[in-house]
Structures are given as structure tokens and as C-alpha cells.
Chains A and B, each alone.
Chain A
Amino acid sequence: MSIFSNISFGQYVPVNSFIHRLDPRGKIVALFLLMVGVFLTVRLDFFIPWGILLLTLIFLSKLSVRFVWKGLKPVVFLVVFAFVLNLFLTPGRVIWQWHFLKMTEEGLSMGTLIILRIFFLVAFASLLTLTTSPTELTSGIEYLLSLVPYVRRNAQDIAMMMSIAIRFIPTLAQETDKIIKAQMARGVDFESGNIVRRMKNYIPVLVPLFVGAFRRADELAIAMESRCYGSVSKRSKLNELRFNFKDIMFVVSITTYTASVIVLSRFLSIGFLN
């Protein structure tokens, strides 16, 4: 019963490309803009510009479409669910009927809209995780979080906590696995009995897990302090984030593109699909 065998770290694909080299903060802001843009697109034909942009970005990041496709797998269920729900539950002109199930024209176009919307939201998001390493992404998010004063005051400690957490998740997961196996060897049964029984059977796992985790935390703190952690007021970073001209250009062009697609989709009426 190894529950942690499938923890693989991240989807990041290391390639040296224009998109990979961009500042993570710029990419997060761009993703946010694109998400808003996709949300505000309510006409089917205006998903074509999003498609063109997506393909351009994939081309610029030197990835194959396969990777983005793989990122879509987790949402397949969500997409199918949303489509079926819209297809049969939207009132309108009936085009197909089977007993109480009514498929409507409005439902069909609404369902397609939802599919496209989720597809593009997830595709843009997975493009970000594919082209940005977790470390970079974490420091990007950390920068955005540091707009909160409490976080800014403790920025270095917070960075340290993230590194500790990322480093020790596999270690503690292994330890948990070991405890579970050890308790199974002592006769604890995790698979049968009613819910209260099962819950109770986890207590012999959780108590040693906690005590072990806290012992580790104490030891780590002592080890860090004996190496003078916290004695220097301002620590430097190994990889400083730099917001260059190319990042500004990237964010500006994404903003312009998004804005023009939204404006056009709202005011232009050459749509052939509605």
C-alpha cells in the first residue's frame, strides 16, 4: 500500500526558449489577463484569435502541442460534465428528444462555448506551469504576495519555509508510509469496519507522525541556528528576478491583444456563429 509512489514533481519542461526566459511575474500577470479575456469572450467565432495566440505561444516556447494536451487531461471530466449539463438543461428550440431528455440548439451552442472556455483557460494556465520551474513560479507568487505588509516584513523567512517544505515533503511522505506499514505489521486494519472505526485506526499513524514531525522541526531549527540563521538582517538571493525590456514588451503586447479581442467581440457584428 504505497500511497506516495505517484508523487512526481511538477510538469515543467526545461527548454531554452523566449517564453522560458521571461520573468515569472510577467507571465503570471499575462496569464491573469488572458483568463479575464477568455471569460469575457461570449461569441464562438472569437475563440479563433485565442487559438492563434495559443499556437503562437506554444511555438515561441518550443514545446510540442502534446505537452499542452497532456495538461488538459485532468479537466476532461469537468468539460464533459459541463457540456452535458448545458446540452440538456438549457431551455430553447428542441432538436433531439428521448423521453425526458431534450437537446436544444441553445444548449448546443452554450455547451460548445463552455468547452472552449475551459479548454483555453486550462491551456494557457498549463503553458505557464510548463515553461516556468516551480522555484521561479514560487518566487513570482511570493513577490505578488509580498504586497501584503505582513508577508513583506517576513519575506526571507517565508522563502525559507517554502524551501524547507518542498525539500521535506517527499521525506515526510516516506516516513508516513513507513509508519503505516509498521502499524499494519502490528495488526492495525485500515481497510474494514465502519467510518468511526477506520478513523480511529488512523490515530496510531497520526500520533507518531506528529511527534516525529515536531522532533524534526526542533532539530532543524537547532541545526539552522547553529549555522547562524537569522543573524544577518538582509540575505541576498541566488537567483534574483529581473524585469527586463522583453518582459515589459511581452506584458504590453498580451494586454493589447486581449483588449482588442474583447473590444472587437463586443462591437463587431460580422459573426457567422452566434
Chain B
Amino acid sequence: MNTSNVTKIAIFVILTSIGAFLKIPFFPVPLTLQTLFVILSGIMLEPRDAALSQTLYITIGLSGIPVFANGGGISYILSPTFGYIVGFIPAAYVVGKLSKQFTSPSILNMLIAATIGTLLIYLSGLLYLYINMKYIIGKELDIYHTLLYGCLIFLPGDATKIIASALIGSKVTIRVFQRNAIR
């Protein structure tokens, strides 16, 4: 692993942490810009490095540094929403794999990658929400309610976030590539 990869992965750990605090007040749930950074990590890093950056983010959060949306610490594992955070790892990896297949960072390509990434975060989040409700809270949710509380109320926000990450992703990647080309 070369030095510039080391610092770039570290930067994405930091950006994901900051993303948790950039909240846009919105009904019914406030939006954080975090998934945007997860998707961008996939777009801008190698797949394996992107997954690593998200793993490190979770590690740092679990070790007690408050980088998750509601603080940090080992007890976060019990929170019903921990599954969404775990989903960052496969999402970053798959987005990374996909966006490397594309020849140019065009908005449409970014849109496809971001959509698939967000779906993966949902998948992991919903699965964990269901398990958590069943075994920790002690109430089994049926599939309809799991979908309603875990996914449908976030959908309008996440749809806009997908579009935004595609827009920003293509803009920023083009700029970073340009800068590297000049150097």
C-alpha cells in the first residue's frame, strides 16, 4: 500500500465521520449526508480501499469516539439502526467495483452506482432492524412494518441524496483527475 493511499483512505474515514453531523432538517426524519460520503468513497477509491475506509470508520466509532449520528461506543451495536452503518462496507465496495467499470465519471453512471449502493445499505439495515426488533426489543415486526419504518420514510430523502451524490461525485472526480493530470 503506498503512502498516498494511506492518507486518502484516512481522509474518507474522516469525511464519513463529518457526514454524520451534516444534518438537513426534514420531515419525518432528518437527513444526514453520510451515505453520500460512503458512495463517494466507492467512486473515488479502489473497491477494497473503500470497504477498508468504512470498516475503520465503524471501528473508530465502536471504540468510543463519537463519530456516529448519536455518539459512539460499543453499545451502539444494540441500536436498531446499526445495520445501516454496517451496510456502508458492502455499499462502498460494490459502488467501487461498479464505478471502475465505467469509462467516464458521467452523471448517469454515477447515478446507477449510487442507487445500487443505497439499496445495499437498506438491505443490511432492514435485515438488522428485523433481527434487532425480534431478539433485543422482543417484538417481531412483519415485513410490511419493517419496510415502512426502515425504508419508506427515508425514501424521499435518500432519492435526493442519490441524485446529489451523483452530481457531486462526477464534479469532484473530474476535478481531482484534472489536478492529478496536471501534476
What residues of chain A have their CB less than 8 Å away from a CB belonging to chain B? 3-4, 7-12, 31, 39, 71, 74-75, 78, 81-82, 85-86, 89, 110, 113-114, 117-118, 121-122, 125-126, 128-129, 132, 134, 137-138, 141-142, 145, 150-151, 154, 157-158, 160-162, 164-166, 168-169, 172-173, 176, 190-191, 195-196, 198-200, 202-203, 205-207, 209-211, 213-214, 216-218, 220-221, 224-225, 229-230
Q: How far is the CA of A121 from the CA of B15 in the complex (A)?
A: 30
The CA-CA distance from A196 to B160 in the complex, in Å, is 6
User: 6 shortest A-B CB distances, which residue pairs?
Assistant: A164-B10, A137-B63, A165-B13, A125-B75, A217-B7, A221-B4
CA A132 to CA B65, docked complex, whole Å = 12
Alpha-carbon separation in the docked complex, A118 to B135 (Å): 11
Partner of A195, one of B5, B15, B160: B160
With A165-B10, A169-B17: A200-B164 Cβ-Cβ less than 8 Å: yes
Majority secondary structure, A binding face: helix
Q: Mark B161-180, 1 if CB is under 8 A from A, else 0.
A: 10110011001100110010
Contacts of B21 in A (CB 8 A): 3-4, 7, 173
Provide the residues of chain B in CB contact with A165, threshold 8 Å.
10, 13-14, 17, 56-57, 60
A126 and chain B: residue at smallest CB distance: B75
Q: At the interface with chain A, which of B22-30, B94-102, B107-115, B119-127?
A: B22-30
B14 to A10, Cβ gap below 8 A?
Answer: no
Interchain nearest-CB distance for A173 vs B (Å): 6
Partner of A142, one of B11, B24, B59, B65: B59
Chain B residues whose CB sits within 8 angstroms of the CB of A168 once the complex forms? 10-11, 14
Min CB distance, A42 to chain B, in Å? Answer: 11
Residue of A nearest to B70 (CB): A74
**B15 and A86 within 8 A (CB):** no
Decide: A166 and B65 in contact? CB cutoff 8 A: yes
Cα of A207 to Cα of B36 in the assembled complex, Å: 13
- A140 nearest CB across to chain B (Å): 8
Question: Whole-angstrom distance from the CB of A72 to the nearest CB of chain B?
Answer: 9
- Of A7, A74, A89, A158, the contact of B139 (CB 8 Å cutoff): A89
Cβ–Cβ < 8 Å partners of B9 in chain A = 161
Q: Which residues of the other chain, B, contact A141 by a CB distance below 8 angstroms?
A: 59, 62-63
Q: List 15 A-B contacts (CB under 8 A).
A: A9-B65, A81-B137, A117-B136, A129-B63, A145-B55, A151-B52, A161-B56, A168-B14, A195-B26, A199-B31, A199-B160, A200-B164, A206-B33, A213-B14, A221-B3
CB-CB under 8 A from B66, the residues of chain A are 7-10
Contact B75 A150 (CB under 8 A): no
